[in-house]
Amino acid sequence: MKKYHLYRWLLFVLILLTSKIYAQQPPEVFKNPILSGFYPDPSICRVDDTYYMVNSSFEWYPGLPIHKSKDLVNWEKIGHGLCRPDQIKYKDGLNNSAGIFAPTIRYHKGTFYIITTMVGQQGNFIITAKNPEGPWSAPMWIKDAPGIDPSLFWDDDGRCYYTGAGIIDGTKKEWPGKNGVWMQEIDPDTGVLLGEKKQLTYGHASNARWAEGPHIYKINNEYLLLIGEGGTGEFHAVTVFNSKKLWGPYIPNHTNPVMTHRHLAKTYPIIQTGHADLVQTQNGNWWSVMLAKRLTKNYVTLARETFLAKVIMTQQESGVTPIFNPGIGLLQLEQKRPNLPWTPVPKLKERDEFQNKTLGLEWNFLRSPREQWYTLKDGELEIKLRPETVNELVNPSYIAQRTRNFSYQSTTKLSFKTKKENEKAGLAIYRKTGNNYQLLKTKDKIVLIKTYQKVLNGFFEPELIASIPYSKNNVVLGAKVDELDVQFLYGENETDLKPIGAIQDYTIVSDEVAQKYNGVYVGMYATSSGKTSKKSAKFEWFDYKPSN
């Protein structure tokens, strides 16, 4: 009998161990995008068995978000390239979707380099670091470097070359949308351009539009130039050019475009693919990161996201030719993952209770703060009321994070009291100065405000959608987004939230309506509406919960 019970016990242990091992088996596939929400213009590099990626950030600060991964699928944010006031200032007046464009990250002999453009201010610059988590150097501004989207390439002899998007030979107006890629040697440690500039291409065809985002690679003793074309819209594409010599000529590959969804319009769930970068794994395999957009009910509400595609390098008549997602040729929402050790990373917390001394890496500001207008103390985030508003090209008292899902609910607990009509605090969903929602506590009300800019550069006026009397100091404010609808909520506690106003149109922050390069954010907001104030608003916690 004892032996029987021993057998049963051993069988039970074996089942438990088998179940545990089975549960820990890594998945065979991964899901795109690998970075959800506003993460456009990805650039990637590998150091040993670790991958690093950087993205555009436009007018949002800190700028240049940096992620790392061991498996190309699970990415952990480790810092920002621009996160100190002494590095760079995003000045008031910096327009919607101006700021930090299309960075490139590279590693050479113990140093990480990020080269990028500050549109609306000083142009192109390089920052460096020994550790990608930082600290990153002050910008080295590059003189006489016209255009955008710079990249760095080191040849076998150790010399470094700058490639950028622009026309340097005076032929820009030859056809509508004509742009090109030019190259010049550079000292990457000083930012000084050396020697002569040379125009490498204007695009893969005689009427190609908006050649940009260039990267050069040396593969099989051949130079491969990869660029984005067609503009970052419905005609976006990736094209390549081949050359036996560094300085060219760079001949358009006959397979171009090597990646595009332009021929599918909105008949496919992923659209507007382009602006790619390539990386070779430690196993010798090739993968590409690129931007694309996902549709929900025929709208784009998450802006440009980062996707991953398998690449094989073939040798064809044109030379080295990358084949994206062989046998398919399109980005996939799900596909077989890279042959790399599965390495999960910590998930973002749904609730931030502000227990740390500094804000988490997911939090951003509009343009760079000129002063410290918020504090973290005793488990609360205290935000000063300042004259600036989210409807101006300034740095308002707004702390927000990227939206990452088609459907989600965000809530926050606010403590705020005022006797003045101009003083307000609460929750805001923001795409740009002319396209946002604000759910705010005022002197004696909860108000819902909508700002809807119907056409680009058109006049806009904030509109009061709903107003409900409310006299208590504490309130929970929320927004429940269901694809193209958003219902705003309020209540004394999070278990008893009531709707305020009717269901609202979430498409006002979509690409189709807002028409800008940046993405959608949700966060905490306080303002004194053009007047000085000594007041502050206290936030006990903030929730972001995906619904899909």
Residue positions annotated with a catalytic role: 41, 212
Q: Is 57 helix (H, G, I), strand (E, B) or coil?
A: coil
Angle at 426 between CA 421 and CA 431, to 5 degrees: 110
Exposure class string for 81-106: b at 16+ Cβ within 10 A, else e: bbbeeebbbbeeebebbbbbbbbbbb
User: Could you give the CA distance from residue 511 to residue 343 in angstroms, rounded to a whole number?
Assistant: 33
User: Could you give the CA distance from residue 150 to residue 164 in angstroms, rounded to a whole number?
Assistant: 4
Beta strands of 202-269 (E only): which ranges? 212-219, 222-229, 237-243, 251-252, 259-260
Q: What's the token pair of residue 478?
A: 């929320």
> Could you tell me the sign of the dihedral formed by the alpha carbons of 432, 358, 417, 414, in that order?
positive
Q: What's the token pair of residue 397?
A: 């008292």
DSSP, residue by residue, 108-176 = ETTEEEEEEEEETTTEEEEEEESSTTSPPPPPEEPTT--SEEEEEEE-TTS-EEEEEES--SS-GGGST
3-state helix, strand, coil in the chain (%, to 5): 5, 45, 45
